[in-house]
Structure 1
Amino acid sequence: MSGTLYGLGVGPGDPELMTLKAARILSSVSVVAYPAPDSGESFARAIAAEHIDKNAEEISILVPMRPDKFPHEIYAEAAQRIAKRLHQGQDVAVLCEGDPFFYGSFMYLYDLLIEEFPCVVIPGVSSLTACAAVAGRPLAGRNSLLSVIPGPLDSETISAQLNTCEAAAIMKVGRHFKRLYKLVEDEGLLERAVYVERATLSEQRVLPLADVPQDRAPYFSMILIDKGSRPNGPKSVVT
């Protein structure tokens, strides 16, 4: 009998925002896998560290931070390593920052393994909802439409979305910050935009976009835009 593959959303950064279910499952499995950068520690592991059993085997999936190429071969190799443990009857938990199925890296392993092994996905607090919370900016209400826009998209596509949406969240800002700032400004939305950086972490920043120096932003940053009548600017802080 094979083991079960678990995709665990560990939230946006604050360890207290992990769900009770994710923490319970993580503490019970014999194998834990997680994405990690070329150098430095895994952010997903750092969030969940206190719930990992000291005897659990850990599989670090090294994912180069290259914007030009999606590392298919890395996830394929990781899937083979994980499949070996599942065939042995071991349960494997894969950690994913935020939510596994909301721009989460776990979905690539899920696609490779779901046809062969049982899989359970545990949702997590996403960066989208976390940024809205720390900024005090409700995302959408009643019948309003929200556009979620990846920052690496081309400028024409982003401008079209900003022109037609009622509210927007621009994710994966990072190295695209200057270009995105100008696109928001060109659409006349600068005064309706809030910038959030490293939401829920001790070094988080929440500012009106117009007040942010136009230098390079970190990967974990987001721009929230509301075209409605809601006042601009951060109103609350998550503690």
Structure 2
Amino acid sequence: MKIEPANGKTLLFGVGLGPGDPDYMTVRARDIIVTADRLVHFCKRGRRGNARVTADAIVAPDAAREIELAFPVTIEVPVEDEGYSGPISTFYDESAALLAAEMEAGRTIAVLCDGDPFFYGSFMHLWRRLAHRFPTEVVPGVTGMAGAWTRAQAPITWGDDIMTVLPGTLPEAELARRLADTDAAVIMKLGRNLPKVRRALEAAGLIDRAIYVERATMAEQVVARLGDKGDDEAPYFSMVLVPGEGRRL
């Protein structure tokens, strides 16, 4: 979404930086993070966010420009738990108020986003609170799943294949049903859900096609057949690919 302000000045940018390799940033993304008054990134308490690390290739840390938004809770609390939704909602309200104050002072804000801002992105929660109030531009980025299937050398769809993107947080039976009803799939939000995802893939008869990808395009990248993965550890930046097998010419 891009709103053209009367004075020609966009204040809020949601900037997709791609899956982790700085070479996958767009020219537009690079231009914005170099010139924005404030660089904003989400992170876990005590850590720098991955998007900010990606941006290190373009802009050095600068305390005068940085705004860190540290999540009050992350994977230690299940998403469906009230102990997650309440604090997270308050966190987004407070973060939006902080950024609004900056923009009311005329400063431009670049929110650095992993992958694409509008694909399972934290930025969307700020966008919903702020885009109707301030001139906004969203800069698309290469998604994590595109980085994953490229690095896995796994064409994901052929011909008329239908691809389904699934969160691993779904109930096991629902995962299995949806997997059985599609030609290709990407399963995200693994974490503690990986054992359940394995069982759903087995129930759908797809375990032999499943590819596990961790930290795609990053230095610590891991690509393996899911059936060969001997443990159930899955960090935040991981997913399972099920390539389609449709019409090949």
Say whether 1:90 aligns with 2:107: yes
Task: Report percent identity of matched pairs.
Answer: 37
1:175 Cα offset (Å): 1.3
User: Does the alignment pair 1:61 with 2:61?
Assistant: no
Per the alignment, in what secondary structure is the counterpart of residue 206 of structure 1? strand
Residue 27 (structure 1) aligns with: 34
**Within 1, Cα distance between the matches of 2:242 and 2:11?**
40
SS at match of 1:51: coil
SS in 1 for 2:138: strand
Could you list the per-position Cα deviations for residues 152-197 of structure 1 after superposition, in whole angstroms to 9, with x for gaps in the alignment?
A: 1111221111110011010111111111111111221111111111
Determine the structure 1 residue equivalent to 2:204. Answer: 187
Q: TM-score, normalised by structure 1?
A: 0.91
Give the aligned partner of residue 141 of structure 1. Answer: 158
Matching residue of 1:169 = 186
Do the aligned partners of 2:158 and 2:246 also contact (CA within 8 Å) in 1? no
Find the counterpart in structure 1 of residue 44 from structure 2: 37
Cα distance per residue 1:128-168 (max 9 Å; x no partner): 10111011111223322100001111112211111100110
Q: Is the 1:197–1:218 Cα contact (8 Å) retained in structure 2?
A: yes
C-alpha displacement of 1:215: 2.2
Say which is worse superposed, 41-50 or 79-88, in terms of deviation.
41-50
State whether residues 44 and 96 of structure 1, in contact with CA within 8 Å, keep that contact through their aligned partners in structure 2: yes
Is the 8 Å Cα contact of residues 177 and 215 (structure 1) preserved in structure 2?
Answer: yes
The alignment yields a C-alpha RMSD, in angstroms, of 1.8
Question: Counterparts of 2:119 and 2:109 in 1: how far apart (Å)?
Answer: 20
Q: Given that residues 3 and 90 in structure 1 are in contact (C-alpha distance below 8 angstroms), is that contact kept between their aligned partners in structure 2?
A: no
Note closer, same or farther for the CA distance 1:141–1:132 as it changes in structure 2 (3 Å cut).
Answer: same
Give the match for residue 3 of structure 2.
Answer: none
Q: Deviations over 1:180-238 (max 9, x none)?
A: 111111221111111111101111111111101132211211111135269xxxxxxxx
Task: Report the residue type matching 1:194 in the other structure.
Answer: I
Counterpart-to-counterpart distance in 1, 2:238 and 2:175:
17
Number of matched pairs: 230
Aligned counterpart for 1:119 among listed residues 126, 136, 149: 136
Question: In 2, distance between residues paired with 1:9 and 1:130?
Answer: 13
Deviations 1:43-97 (Å, cap 9, x if unpaired)?
1111112333647521111112133323011111010010011111111000111
Report the counterpart of residue 234 of structure 1 in structure 2.
Answer: none
Structure 2 CA distance for partners of 1:162 and 1:88, relative to 1, 3 Å: same
CA distance in 1: counterparts of 2:57 and 2:187, whole angstroms: 32
CA distance change for structure 1 residues 46 and 22 in 2, over 3 Å: closer, same or farther?
same
Q: Is the CA contact 2:160–2:246 (under 8 Å) kept in the aligned structure 1?
A: no
Distance 1:107 1:56 in 2: 25
Aligned-partner Cα distance in 2 for 1:144–1:218? 29
